A and B are shown apart, each in its own frame.
Chain A
C-alpha cells in the first residue's frame, strides 16, 4: 500500500479549524457545503457489503441520499475530495483504518457532521473509546429504522 503525500504526517490539505471535537453543532451551523437539492445526505462507512446495502435502503426510505465506502481511509479520502455529508454512519471494525481512527481524523480535519457509530461491540470501554474519538451518537448493530430515526432526530436538534 503506497502512502500518498497527503497522509504522511498530518491530514490532507484542508483548512484545519481549531475547534474542539465533540457535540455536532448542526442546528447552529445549518447545512454544510453547497448542494442543489434540499435532501439530507449521508455517508455509510462499513466494510461489509450486506450492511452497506441495508444501510443504504434504510436511508433511501427516509429520502436521504447516501454514498458508501468500505473503510475509514476511504471515508477520510472522500472528505479530502471536498465532499461533506449531513450524517456519517461509521462502523467500528474495518481494515486499513478503523472507525475510531477515522472519526478522530475527521474531527481533526474540522468535520462537524453528525457521526453516528454503529457497531456490534458490546464491551463498555471499547464503546467509550469510540465515543471519545468524536461520535455524536452510538447505536448497536443491527441498525433498524427506529434506531436510524433516533439518530436523525439528534441532527434536527
Chain B
C-alpha cells in the first residue's frame, strides 16, 4: 500500500471514529459535500469561524456567571442559544448536546449547574478542536502526497 492509500485509509478510519464517537453528525458531512473547486477551503473556514465564535460566547457566559451581584441568566441563556445554533449548523453534536443541558440550568437559574455545564461545553469544544485539527492535517498530507480526499458518507 503506497503512502497516499495509507493516508486515505487513516483519514477514513479517523472520520468514521469522529462520527461514531458523536463528535460530528451528518450536518458536518453535508458541509464537506458543499466544498468544491470553487471553495476548496470552505470547511476549514467555517470551522475556524465556529471556533472563534465559540471562544467569544464561552467568555461571555463565564463573565455573566461570575457576576457576584446576581447572575443575569437571560444573558447566559442568550449566549448558550447562539452556541447551540452554530454548533448544530456545523454538526458539532457533542457541543450542541452540552448546550441543550446548559439551557435547562439557565431556565432553572441554577448557577452551580450552569458552571458545570460551562466546564462541559469548554471541554467538548477543546476536544472537537483537536479532533478537527487532526482531520484537517490528514487532508493536507493526502493532498501534499498527490492524492484526493475520500468522501466518507
Interface on A for B, CB 8 Å cutoff? Answer: 47-51, 53-54, 57-58, 60-61, 93, 120, 141-145
CB atoms of B42 and A50 under 8 A apart: no
Whether A53 touches B88, Cβ cut-off 8 Å, given contacts A48-B53, A93-B81, A145-B34, is: no
Whether A53 touches B49, Cβ cut-off 8 Å, given contacts A58-B34, A142-B89, A144-B30, is: yes
List residues of chain A with CB within 8 A of the CB of B82. 47-48
- Residue in A47, A50, A61, A144 whose CB lies within 8 Å of B36: A61
Min CB–CB distance B87 → chain A (angstroms): 8
Cα A142 to Cα B34 in complex, Å, equals 14
List residues of chain B with CB within 8 A of the CB of A145. 30, 33-34
CB atoms of A57 and B34 under 8 A apart: yes
Asked whether any CB of chain A lies closer than 8 Å to the CB of B39, the reply is yes
List residues of chain A with CB within 8 A of the CB of B42. 57
Cα A58 to Cα B34 in complex, Å, equals 7
Q: Mask for B26-57, Cβ within 8 A of A = 1, else 0?
A: 01001101101011001001100110010000
Asked whether any CB of chain A lies closer than 8 Å to the CB of B94, the reply is no
CB atoms of A144 and B27 under 8 A apart: yes
- Residue in A51, A60, A61 whose CB lies within 8 Å of B85: A51
Q: Give the size of the chain B interface in residues (CB under 8 angstroms).
A: 23
CB atoms of A142 and B27 under 8 A apart: yes
The 4 closest A-B pairs by CB, nearest first: A50-B86, A142-B89, A50-B50, A142-B27
CB atoms of A141 and B88 under 8 A apart: yes
Cα A60 to Cα B53 in complex, Å, equals 23
For B82, the closest partner residue in chain A by CB is A48
Cα A143 to Cα B34 in complex, Å, equals 12
Within residues 48 to 93 of chain B, which ones have a CB less than 8 A from any CB in chain A?
49-50, 53, 81-82, 84-86, 88-91
Cα A60 to Cα B50 in complex, Å, equals 20
List residues of chain A with CB within 8 A of the CB of B45. 53
List residues of chain B with CB within 8 A of the CB of A141. 85, 88-89
Cα A23 to Cα B88 in complex, Å, equals 30
Min CB–CB distance B48 → chain A (angstroms): 10
**Residue of B39, B85, B88, B91 with highest tally of chain A CB at under 10 A:** B85
CB atoms of B39 and A51 under 8 A apart: no
For A55, the closest partner residue in chain B by CB is B89
Cα A51 to Cα B90 in complex, Å, equals 8
List residues of chain B with CB within 8 A of the CB of A143. 89
